[in-house]
Amino acid sequence: MFAMKKVIVLLSGGMDSATLLWLCKKEFDKVYAISFDYGQKHKVELRYAQELANMASVEQHILVEVPHYRLIKGSALLEGGPEVPKEGYTQDVPATNVPMRNLVFLAIAGSFADNYQIDHIAIGVHALDTPYPDCRVEFITAMESALNAGSAFVANTKRRIHLYAPFLGHSKADIARLGKALGVPFEKTYSCYMGTEPPCGKCATCLQRQEALKAIMQA
């Protein structure tokens, strides 16, 4: 029997994960979304994630609280951490790195995938994310192996859990172009690291967003 294709999408509320969500609506039969409250300075993004999930009519939008990041100091993205740099990426691993964030998020999404028999987990990592170790292809591949090794769903059904990362190796402009074609409401997305409304316009993610949107305007 043909198994229904299901996916759970890591949804931050930014333009990449929104485009991923719209793509998954096209590619999968059942779409779930998951968002995380982990003590991020830009917690305002969760409101955008909620609205995007509603607009995309997902089966369920799961909001998970990840409390341990409140105990971790030193990440510029977390409450109580150092200031967000007002520039693009300069160091090897940016100050805005959140230790093991995608490992934690994918493990949590994996719990739901295992329990709900969801065979795909979608994540919007892309070519400009590679300063972050847990956004690289080596990590995604290794994490997919770990999820399959640890899954009761996989053990019972002999099926596989796939990490769906279609933007790996793609630029943010590629994502913007795809999002435009899919009708993603970019004005309802939010990605600023500062967490201000309107967005600061100066942090790394604001700069990337502006460039990507400019690129599709000129096209």
Binding residues (CB under 5 A) for Zn ion: these are: 192, 194, 199-200, 203, 206
Minimum separation from the CB atom of position 50 to Zn ion (A): 20
Comparing CB distances to Zn ion, the nearer of 29 and 197 is 197
Q: In DSSP terms, which residues pair with 35 in a beta bridge?
A: 63
Comparing CB distances to Zn ion, the nearer of 8 and 192 is 192
Strand, helix or coil for residue 180: helix
Comparing CB distances to Zn ion, the nearer of 109 and 206 is 206
Minimum separation from the CB atom of position 122 to Zn ion (A): 25
Q: In DSSP terms, which residues pair with 6 in a beta bridge?
A: 30
Minimum separation from the CB atom of position 41 to Zn ion (A): 10
Minimum separation from the CB atom of position 138 to Zn ion (A): 28
- State phi, psi for 2 to the nearest 5 degrees: -75, 120
Comparing CB distances to Zn ion, the nearer of 46 and 168 is 46
Minimum separation from the CB atom of position 91 to Zn ion (A): 18
Q: What are the strands, taking DSSP E only, across the chain?
A: 6-10, 30-37, 60-65, 120-122, 162-164
Strand, helix or coil for residue 17: helix
Comparing CB distances to Zn ion, the nearer of 6 and 209 is 209
- State phi, psi for 37 to the nearest 5 degrees: -100, 105
List Cα–Cα distances, 168 to 20, 87, 118, 129, 164, in angstroms. 12, 23, 21, 9, 10
- State phi, psi for 64 to the nearest 5 degrees: -115, 135
CA dihedral 187, 13, 132, 6 (to 10 degrees): -120
Q: Can you give the three-state secondary structure of 32-49, one letter per residue?
A: EEEEEECCECCCCHHHHH
Comparing CB distances to Zn ion, the nearer of 94 and 199 is 199
Minimum separation from the CB atom of position 104 to Zn ion (A): 23
